[in-house]
Amino acid sequence: MSDFFSSFWSIYITVVSLVSIIGCAALLWLQSSAKHLPGQTTGHVWDETLEEFSNPLPNWWRWLFYFTVIFSLFYLAMYPGLGSFKGQYGWTSVGQYDKEINKTEEQYGPIFQKYLKQDIRTVAMNPEAKEMGQRLFLTYCSQCHGSDARGAKGFPNLADKDWLYGGTPEDIKTSITQGRMGVMPAKGVKPDLSGEDIKDIANYVRSLSGMAADSIRVHRGKPLFGSACAACHGAEGQGNMGVAPNLADNIWLYGRSENAIIETITQGRMNQMPAFGDFLGEAKGHLLTAYVYGLSQGGFNESEKAE
């Protein structure tokens, strides 16, 4: 990789860029100074009757071409394009991005700071804050959790009251700012769990939430569940906060069919919520937390929920 940061590549790019521009100018000059015989052909014929005539280039086209050559040289003098040369303006995409971000912060920063000073529950009930939080959610969260925050397969529903890591404002803010990592270890690689064992456990798990299951497999699966799964999900399968989900309710992140549960037990699952704290900053994270909290914990009144 160090070869790509040597001065050779800067020189190489500079030479290629200048030679290309000068080559275009030279080609144009040669074509402009060449002798033409208007009305006569060059002798080249295509497709039986398509002939190439020896006509000069139109003047408007030649001068437009010359202008583009001159403009390209001016551009390379003002902006980066010749290897490591930064140009007279010293422009960079990072610099422009920072400038736009600073301008945005100057305009909207005071608004975010106003809500940062308020309790999350109070912010969650503010209509203006709700609209701002929704925009943040649609920009940064909807790709995974959906525009209605009701999730999808592998991505949890944020509009209900089921929270693996807690639904308090503090817990939600921690999830947003610091991220979460959930891991379900694969049980299919264990020598003491055969395919039939896993199918028995799957049927027992289905029975915990009242779904149809093979009674014989449920009977066989209960002790297997106790030895292989209870350490995380609890003896009754009701889960542990921050560790493992409740298997005795009707909320299933990866599907509740027998095949889906067998796949989860056999192959395991790994799910990550990325940390947005450094990216969003404290003020935006606070506002987004209030919006998510309001979706599931009654932060908005019933008429607002129906909108």
- Please tell me if the domain spanning 118-179+274-305 has the same topology as the one spanning 183-272: yes
> What residues contact 44, with CB distance under 8 A and at least 6 apart?
51, 52
Three-state secondary-structure class, residue 195: helix
Percent of the chain scoring above 70 in pLDDT = 94
State the Cα–Cα distance between residues 169 and 286, nearest whole angstrom.
9
What pLDDT score was predicted for residue 83? 85
Averaged pLDDT, 137-157: 95
Break the chain into its structural domains and give their ranges.
2-78, 118-179+274-305, 183-272
Q: Which residues pair with 183 in a beta bridge?
A: 270
Q: Judge whether 245 and 154 are in contact, CB under 8 Å.
A: no
Beta-carbon count within 10 A of 233 CB: 22
For residue 17 the two structure tokens come to 């860029």
Give the CATH class of 118-179+274-305.
mainly alpha
Residue 307 has pLDDT above 60, yes or no: no
Averaged pLDDT, 156-170: 93
> What residues contact 234, with CB distance under 8 A and at least 6 apart?
240, 244
Q: Judge whether 242 and 166 are in contact, CB under 8 Å.
A: yes
Of 68, 82, 65, 55, nearest to 28 by C-alpha is 65
What pLDDT score was predicted for residue 306? 31
Q: What is the pLDDT of residues 219-254, one digit of tens each?
A: 999 999 999 999 999 999 999 999 999 999 999 999
Q: How far is CA 300 from CA 18, 123, 135, in A?
A: 62, 10, 16
pLDDT grade, residue 5 (50/70/90)? low
Residue 297 has pLDDT above 80, yes or no: no
Task: Give Cα 200 distance to the centre of its chain.
Answer: 38
Averaged pLDDT, 169-175: 96
Q: How long is the chain?
A: 307
Mean pLDDT of all residues belonging to the chain: 89
Q: What's the CATH number for 183-272?
A: 1.10.760.10
State the Cα–Cα distance between residues 73 and 87, nearest whole angstrom.
11
> What residues contact 237, with CB distance under 8 A and at least 6 apart?
205, 208, 225, 229, 230, 246, 247, 248
The string of DSSP letters for 218-238 reads HHHHHHHHHHHTHHHH-TTS-
For residue 112 the two structure tokens come to 């975010």
Which helix or strand (DSSP H or E) is residue 60 part of? helix 59-78
Using a CB cutoff of 8 Å and minimum separation of 24, what contacts does 241-249 make?
Answer: 241/164, 241/165, 241/166, 242/164, 242/165, 242/166, 244/184, 245/164, 246/162, 247/205, 247/208, 247/209, 248/208, 248/209, 249/162, 249/209
What pLDDT score was predicted for residue 303? 37
For residue 77 the two structure tokens come to 């003098």
What pLDDT score was predicted for residue 302? 39
What pLDDT score was predicted for residue 51? 84
